Structure 1
Amino acid sequence: MTASPTPEEWRRLLETVVRYKKLGCWQWMENEDYFAVTNPDTGEVGYCVVLGAGGMNFGFNVYIGSDANLFLQEITDSMGVLNDDQQELSLNTNAISLTFEDRSELDKEDLRILREQGLKFRGSQQWPLFRSYEPGRSPWSLNSQQVGFLTIALEQGIHVAERFREDRELYFEHDEADNGFGEKRLHRVPQKTDHGIEWRDEWLPWRTKGQLIEPYVYPDEVKLQSLKKLKKSKETWEADFDYAVIAIGDTREERPYYPRLCLWVNKGNSMIMDVKLGQEADCRELFVQQLIRLLEKVNYKPAKIEVGSNKAFLALQDSAERLAIPIRVNPHLEALLEAKYAIEDRL
């Protein structure tokens, strides 16, 4: 079980939060002025974003995980795969977050931590709220390691913000692009010495190859080749997968998760062909397996498949091509949406 933060760890974090809030760096830093910090304890790289430039939501996010930079590219790219799917983006966030909220947004545990540290705040959007975000999971309280990394990231955030205030061209000086900006991002890297940890600058390429959601490749080529020979019908099948609207598990000991709802519907008669609830956020394998089992069950192929989202298209594209089934994206699938709403009403 992951350790809970100690009072001393909370004290250091909250002292840093007070300094960060007093600095008010959102007055001169935009959401796009992100930077990276390496955790000296684990070697993990976090991508840090100052929140509040729009004058509404103030705070600081540290995006973590192997796809953190791709996730940030996705949410800042107007042509991203998930740019039309805010629920998918929100529930796939992997981050440690500080936001400044109204007191009513904090729960009893949040208030207890502040009270034990002798802290009290007044006014709207003045109370610090700390949360962990993981794909497919409900927001959760921070553990000891997360508190430690957020503290370090905020300390480095203050350092970067002060430099940025003095030199607004900080990122432009390391721009290798002919146009645009921010092709390289500041990366604060720790180095352990006899005198403690010293920090140095590195500059990382921001735009990396690949995308947040890659096409899924079903591993059983023999199975697909066999099913490719099935006779083609005139039917159109509709399909998609989303997070269900209801979280499962709601106790202090168990972090709730949002199951994946994987749904297949016959467009002609609106009949539900198959529905599955999956616990894993990455449900592409389950989704493709549904198609395989449907083909085996009915013993024929649809004339085409219509999917409701880009993510579903990327999950099925390779398999559909190898099965010789045309596939396209159609965000307005009436039969599928009606079935989805009916299922969610029963959850």
Structure 2
Amino acid sequence: MRKEASLDQWKELYDVTLNLKELEPWQYLDSADLIAIKLQGMEEPVFMSVMGRLGTCYGVSMYEGMDGLADFDMVANAGSKDGPSIYDTMMDQSCITWYAGDRDEVPEAQKKVIKELGLKFRGKGQWQYFLSFEKGYTPFTLDAREAGILTEAFKGLFMAVRAIKEKRISVDFEQGEILWRLYNTETEEWNMFAGPLPLCEREYPEIELEDQELRQKLKEQRQINQELAIELAYLHTEVRDQEYDRPLCPRVLIVMDWKRDIILNMELMKPEDYEIDVILNFFVPYVLSNGRMKKIRARSPWVFAALIDICEYCGIELKKADLGKVDNMLMDMMDRMG
């Protein structure tokens, strides 16, 4: 169950954030120059990425643990022509972000906190606010746990940035080093040093249907001259559901007949739905009812994870491709929905 951050927690978080802002960490760090901080009581470090070196979108994102680092890697490498869209990538990550932005960007709940704390922000790009990103949900206000972790991480980040600013430590970020800050329980002191970036690529399983009878049955279906596009996409909207303690960012499985430009299937997913199951639950009945399609175009790693083995077995071409037509249809649909 969600526990809201107390006003005292918000005060401490804003205090350390404003201290960090005074250092202007974006003057010394690029978004790819990571700071790893091993907080007391946590098994894995948090990874801090500073934004704003190019003069836009100032702030800091915190990624928790090795899964968070894999999310950072996914976001950092997003934007390729035949890869997932930037929006889908952003909605598929989990992180906590501090932004220095404009007043109209600040969630109403945080405007209330700012007022209760007596803070005064004036001017463009001067409003400080925080968002929690979680896969399957729209960005939302921090809860008590998140506010606490970010506060402690910012205390460590402040010390790390100050050490870099004062040239007390050297890190060769361009050669793959990152700055580590670890607490030594024996000496009861914090240690900082340059070290390697851990392997962090997000992993996807490659599924093999174990039912040999079903595999053979799929393979024996007649092949039809049809090309499909299969995509997992987040809708540009927010849905409130009492079953969840934060608003949803709906995700859908979309199947498009590529030559005819029509949507054959659109299934709304829940945050807890497993992507592999959703994809196979479409693919298997469809092939059994209609035959083996000639080609499937896809760009989501989950589609390849679910289908690469069975497509190869059944003689179906599975091709990584740009799905601009799917994007256009989605945007047109969202425009009609308002």
Which bracket does the TM-score occupy, shorter chain normalised?
Answer: 0.7 to 0.9
Q: Give the TM-score, by structure 2 length.
A: 0.86
Residues 214 and 246 (structure 1), Cα distance of their counterparts in 2 relative to 1, 3 Å cut = same
Alignment check: 8 A CA contact 1:20 1:158 kept: yes
Which structure 1 segments of 5+ residues have no match? none
Within the candidate set 170, 175, 180, 1:181 is matched to 175
Partner of 1:275: 266
Partner of 1:86: 86
Cα distance between partner residues in 2 of 1:212 and 1:143: 26
1:51-130 to structure 2, matched below 5 A, reads: 51-77=51-77, 85-130=85-130
Cα distance between partner residues in 2 of 1:250 and 1:231: 43
Partner of 2:293: 302
Alignment check: 8 A CA contact 2:229 2:298 kept: yes
1:225-244 to structure 2, matched below 5 A, reads: 225-244=216-235
Partner of 2:32: 32
Within the candidate set 278, 282, 285, 2:277 is matched to 285
Deviation at 1:62, TM superposition (A): 0.4
Cα distance between partner residues in 2 of 1:249 and 1:78: 28
Within the candidate set 256, 263, 273, 2:254 is matched to 263
Cα distance between partner residues in 2 of 1:48 and 1:28: 13
Within the candidate set 217, 220, 233, 2:207 is matched to 217
Helix, strand or coil: the match of 2:280?
A: helix
Out of 257-266 and 161-170, give the one that drifted further.
161-170
Deviating above 6 A after TM superposition, structure 1's stretches of 4 or more consecutive aligned residues are 78-82
Residues 82 and 64 (structure 1), Cα distance of their counterparts in 2 relative to 1, 3 Å cut = farther
Residues 308 and 17 (structure 1), Cα distance of their counterparts in 2 relative to 1, 3 Å cut = closer
1:130-169 to structure 2, matched below 5 A, reads: 130-167=130-167
Deviation at 1:226, TM superposition (A): 2.9
Alignment check: 8 A CA contact 1:37 1:189 kept: yes
Helix, strand or coil: the match of 2:88?
A: helix
Residues 208 and 80 (structure 1), Cα distance of their counterparts in 2 relative to 1, 3 Å cut = farther
Helix, strand or coil: the match of 2:48?
A: strand
Residues 67 and 107 (structure 1), Cα distance of their counterparts in 2 relative to 1, 3 Å cut = closer
Percent identity, aligned pairs only, is 21
Which structure 2 segments of 5+ residues have no match? none
Partner of 2:2: 2
Out of 336-345 and 100-109, give the one that drifted further.
336-345
Out of 1-10 and 152-161, give the one that drifted further.
1-10
Residues 10 and 273 (structure 1), Cα distance of their counterparts in 2 relative to 1, 3 Å cut = closer
Residues 203 and 26 (structure 1), Cα distance of their counterparts in 2 relative to 1, 3 Å cut = closer
Residues 101 and 337 (structure 1), Cα distance of their counterparts in 2 relative to 1, 3 Å cut = closer
Alignment check: 8 A CA contact 2:84 2:299 kept: no
Partner of 2:171: 171
Residues 323 and 346 (structure 1), Cα distance of their counterparts in 2 relative to 1, 3 Å cut = farther
Alignment check: 8 A CA contact 2:204 2:301 kept: no
Alignment check: 8 A CA contact 1:260 1:283 kept: no
Residues 333 and 8 (structure 1), Cα distance of their counterparts in 2 relative to 1, 3 Å cut = closer
Alignment-mate amino acid for residue 210 of structure 2: D
Helix, strand or coil: the match of 1:8?
A: helix
Cα distance between partner residues in 1 of 2:327 and 2:158: 46
Deviation at 1:66, TM superposition (A): 4.0
Alignment check: 8 A CA contact 2:82 2:322 kept: no
Alignment check: 8 A CA contact 1:82 1:89 kept: no
What RMSD over aligned residues (CA atoms) do the two structures have, in Å?
3.1
Q: Give the TM-score, by structure 1 length.
A: 0.84
Deviation at 1:287, TM superposition (A): 1.3
Residues 338 and 16 (structure 1), Cα distance of their counterparts in 2 relative to 1, 3 Å cut = closer
Within the candidate set 296, 301, 324, 2:315 is matched to 324
